[in-house]
Structure 1
């Protein structure tokens, strides 16, 4: 997967989080501020954080993937294509 494609998936995930009323939970977990999210969404590192957050809950993964018509492993593959995503998973 290319980084550009991964960024599109992450932006879709961010939109889904907002529609699912999980944006406040995301902001609380990451320290992101509502007013700064739009600008931060241009950063591949921030988009990686969006996917890190989304990957914490299988229900969220399924919801995001269903909304974007993606296979359920797409978020993990997208995360691997963004900065910091090549780190090993120990669990």
Structure 2
């Protein structure tokens, strides 16, 4: 059985919008603390102005969620402050480029 590939030329789905919103919230939370931001910059190789410029790019936002999901302490800290379940970022991650697992 083949699954249809997503077509990014159509309007984003509600889950993609929710994923982008959550990733932007995570980015703001990361950027609020210099140590967290320096970790993201070291991982991505981007400077703060580049991070700001790329904040509207769904692929970059997927990377922000990947960064968050790769560090349990960061994940739990963000989810605690955002008052969301720790599995929410992973659930929404699949809606952004690079997050869907194709079979």
TM-score by length of 1: 0.88
Corresponding residue number in structure 2 for 1:3: 16
RMSD (Å), alpha carbons = 1.4
Task: State the structure with bigger RCO (CA 8 A, min sep 6), 1 or 2.
Answer: 1
User: Based on CA coordinates, which of the two structures has the bigger radius of gyration?
Assistant: 2
Corresponding residue number in structure 1 for 2:93: 79
Structure 1 runs, 4 residues or longer, greater than 6 Å off: none
Mapped partners of 1:18, 1:38: distance in 2:
10
Higher helix proportion (structure 1 or 2): 1
- What is the number of equivalent residue pairs in this alignment? 88
SS in 2 for 1:2: helix
CA contact (8 A) 1:44 1:83 kept: yes
